[in-house]
């Protein structure tokens, strides 16, 4: 019988005939070699005294201390408390694995019908493939930027290759850099891209080992991600990043472990800077957004047609 109530992930409640245990703050899903929790243990009576304790349930010494402390305060036999805690550990292990499995489920990949496959092959075999592709991109609602939008789409498509390409969009604020990147990104399947607004220096090290492999990484603002540019460069050049970190095992000993995240990846970002650091620039195609009056006119014409309901958007 499962006596663990997981309805509220921030307070997991275990109950049997004699005691009830609340796991305050829930349980962390990372680090399967430990199970650090904060528990509140009470008898089943309404006015029972509560025992609060923070410990690693995989640490025998800490568990034994909790058992003795609880037995004394609640006046319940140590064997009963020990059996209850063992049941709690079993239930928490099962719950944690279930949560990890649900978290690790990959997004469903769209399956093409036979008709769609034939249409795609016909397009790929057409003589004017690039022209047709650019026209279709335009029909998706991207106005102007004919050269830039095609270059960006082709670079995004390189994510599947062993040596993907990378791109940086440059332009002053309000020129549509992010809009262009987002719009072309919308043409890429959701499960094959990762969109990032801001990221910390160590953010990339917390992805799963294969989580970034052949993914398109869209960074909205490179100016705010300077601390993370080094691991980005390493992913671009070496196709992987690694980092050694220290941790404490269940015996309290300090150990080290190596974290590795594998590529290759295709990286796209936007910046308002007129020039960027050479090591970042020489790994990417640099495109400059069209800030001409002609481009502004194209956008205004499109907006007028949209208001009149005359735009043909695919």
Of 41, 42, 39, the residue nearest 56 (C-alpha) = 39
Same domain, 164 and 281: yes
Q: Would you say residue 26 lies in a domain? A: yes
Same domain, 200 and 55: no
Q: Would you say residue 163 lies in a domain? A: yes
Which tens digit of pLDDT belongs to each residue from 55-111? 999 888 999 999 999 999 988 899 999 999 999 999 999 998 888 877 655 556 778
Same domain, 17 and 165: no
Same domain, 25 and 92: yes
pLDDT at 252: 72
Same domain, 141 and 253: yes
Q: Would you say residue 314 lies in a domain? A: no
Same domain, 250 and 181: yes
Same domain, 296 and 232: yes
Please say if the pLDDT value at position 249 is more than 90. no
Same domain, 68 and 18: yes
% of the chain at pLDDT higher than 70: 95
Q: Would you say residue 117 lies in a domain? A: no
Count of domains in the chain?
2
Quickly count: other Cβ atoms within 10 Å of residue 171's Cβ.
21
What average pLDDT is seen over the chain? Answer: 85
Confidence of residue 311 (pLDDT cuts 50, 70, 90): low
Q: Give this prediction's pTM.
A: 0.62
Same domain, 86 and 187: no
Q: Would you say residue 69 lies in a domain? A: yes
Q: Would you say residue 272 lies in a domain? A: yes
CATH classification at residue 238: 3.40.50.300
Confidence of residue 40 (pLDDT cuts 50, 70, 90): very high
**What is the extent of the structural domain holding 89?**
4-103
Q: Would you say residue 127 lies in a domain? A: no
Confidence of residue 313 (pLDDT cuts 50, 70, 90): low
Of 221, 212, 217, 148, the residue nearest 188 (C-alpha) = 217
Mean pLDDT along residues 141-169:
91
Mean pLDDT along residues 252-256:
79
Which tens digit of pLDDT belongs to each residue from 213-230? 999 999 888 877 777 888
Same domain, 247 and 299: yes
Mean pLDDT along residues 257-280:
84
Distance in angstroms (rounded) separating the CA atoms of residues 282 and 312: 38
Same domain, 96 and 146: no
User: Of 179-193, 276-290, 297-311, which gets the smallest average pLDDT?
Assistant: 297-311
Same domain, 76 and 166: no
Q: Would you say residue 312 lies in a domain? A: no
Distance in angstroms (rounded) separating the CA atoms of residues 153 and 303: 23
Of the three residues 52, 82, 103, the one that is the final residue of a domain is: 103
Of the three residues 103, 125, 149, the one that is the final residue of a domain is: 103
């Amino acid at each position: 019988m499962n006596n663990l109530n997981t309805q509220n992930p921030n307070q997991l409640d275990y109950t049997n005939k004699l005691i009830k245990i609340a796991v305050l703050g829930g349980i962390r899903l990372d680090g399967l070699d430990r199970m650090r929790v904060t528990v509140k243990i009470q008898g089943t009576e309404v006015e029972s005294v509560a025992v609060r304790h923070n410990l690693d349930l995989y640490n025998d010494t800490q568990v034994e201390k909790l058992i003795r402390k609880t037995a004394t305060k609640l006046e319940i036999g140590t064997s009963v408390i020990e059996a209850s805690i063992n049941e709690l550990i079993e239930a928490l292990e099962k719950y944690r694995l279930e949560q990890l499995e649900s978290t690790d489920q990959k997004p469903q990949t769209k399956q093409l019908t036979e008709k769609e496959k034939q249409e795609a092959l016909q397009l790929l075999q057409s003589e004017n493939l690039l022209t047709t592709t650019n026209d279709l991109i335009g029909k998706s609602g991207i106005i102007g930027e004919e050269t830039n939008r095609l270059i960006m789409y082709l670079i995004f498509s390189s994510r599947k290759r062993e040596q993907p390409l990378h791109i940086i969009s440059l332009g002053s604020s309000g020129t549509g850099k992010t809009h262009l990147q987002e719009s072309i990104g919308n043409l890429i399947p959701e499960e094959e891209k990762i969109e990032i607004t801001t990221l910390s220096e160590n953010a990339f090290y917390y992805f799963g080992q294969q989580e970034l492999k052949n993914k398109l990484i869209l960074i909205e603002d490179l100016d705010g991600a300077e601390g993370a540019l080094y691991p980005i460069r390493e992913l671009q050049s070496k196709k992987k990043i690694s980092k050694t970190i220290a941790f404490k095992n269940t015996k309290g000993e300090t150990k080290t472990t190596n974290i590795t995240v594998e590529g290759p990846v295709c990286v796209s970002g936007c910046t308002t800077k007129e020039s960027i650091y050479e090591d970042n620039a020489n790994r990417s195609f640099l495109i400059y957004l069209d800030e001409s009056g002609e481009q502004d006119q194209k956008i205004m014409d499109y907006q007028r047609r949209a208001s009149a309901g005359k735009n043909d958007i695919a």
